[in-house]
Amino acid sequence: MKRKKADAKRAVSQGLIVLGCLLICLIWVLPFLWMLGTSMRREIDSFNLPPAFWPEQWNIENYQKVFDMIPFLKFTWNSFFISASATLAMLVVTSMAAYAFARINFAFKKIAFPILLSGMMIPVSSTLVPLFFTIRDLNLMDTQAAVILLGIYYPIGLLLLRQFMMTIPKSYDEAAYIDGASRLRIFWSIILPMSRSTMIVAAVLCFVVNWNNYLVPLVFLNSEGNYPLTLGMQFLKDSWTIDQTVMLAAVVLSVIPPAIVYITCQKFLLQGVITSGLKS
């Protein structure tokens, strides 16, 4: 009898968990479905009250208008180039920094790490003035290099990689030292391959952050030819009006590249998050 009650309680609890997960998924998916439906409406239908969830008449011409009104592929390439370059540079810098903080003892180590992580709590908008003068003095204004340079700093990637590298037994390093390996050889041949899943997690997160970045390109880029997609989509509106069906069609298209990146790397994401559990 007790066993049946325990099984019933377990079934109820599992059912509630599944129901809660479905509810959360629905909350996340509904806005995207609404955006997708609106992007396929006629402009006049978008003003109907009450609004219909799905369009009565499907209209894919909005997607064609996106390519007619702006150089969408050019802006997409700019976004991809900036995001991919910043992500690759972030991985190089962050992996070396994480290795140093996780496996090397040096002066002020316990102070430097929290200082680097504190950048997560500082809004980018509050640092735009000093960053503007720095980029200007480096003669990088109105260049994609400026946006890439500012996109390299990603404290979450440093935190994830450092926490994972701390879980790797020091015996690997000691055995490699006995065999005559240098610290650089240990980092390249042992630590990095073992950190692959966590590096992919950090790379995907950093890529998405740079892909969605709007404020930094707005401040440091002036030439339309350098604009990423986040800035380029502003040309879909005129001085007084905006066709929200065309704008949302552009937004749907802009979601595709990061979605492809996520789907491609999906099998590594959960593994990377688990293996980089926050170990003090």
- Structural domain boundaries enclosing 26: 1-47
Burial of 97 (0-12, 13-18, 19+ CB in 10 A): middle
Q: Are 135 and 141 in contact (CB under 8 A)?
A: yes
Question: Does residue 252 form part of some domain?
Answer: yes
> How would residue 22 be classed by pLDDT, with cut points 50, 70 and 90?
confident
Residues 40 and 95 in one domain: no
- Domain count across the chain: 2
Task: Identify whether residues 24 and 83 lie together within a single domain.
Answer: no
Tell me the per-residue pLDDT of 47-102, one tens digit each, with 9 for 90 and over.
767 777 777 778 888 899 899 889 999 999 999 999 999 999 999 999 999 999 98
**Confidence band, pLDDT 50/70/90 cuts, at residue 230:** very high
Average pLDDT, the chain: 85
Give yes or no: residues 36 and 141 share one domain: no
Shared domain for 26 and 108, answered yes or no, is: no
Is residue 59 a part of any domain in this protein? Answer: no
**151 within some domain:** yes
How do residues 117-172 score in pLDDT, each as one tens digit?
A: 888 888 888 889 999 999 999 999 999 999 999 999 999 999 989 988 988 888 88
- In the prediction, which pLDDT does 74 show? 95
Indicate if 260 and 137 belong to the same structural domain: yes
Which range is least confidently modeled, 139-153, 182-196, 207-221, 261-275? Answer: 261-275
Domain shared by 12 and 81, yes or no:
no
On whether residue 57 sits in a domain, the answer given is no
Residue 227 scores a pLDDT above 90: yes
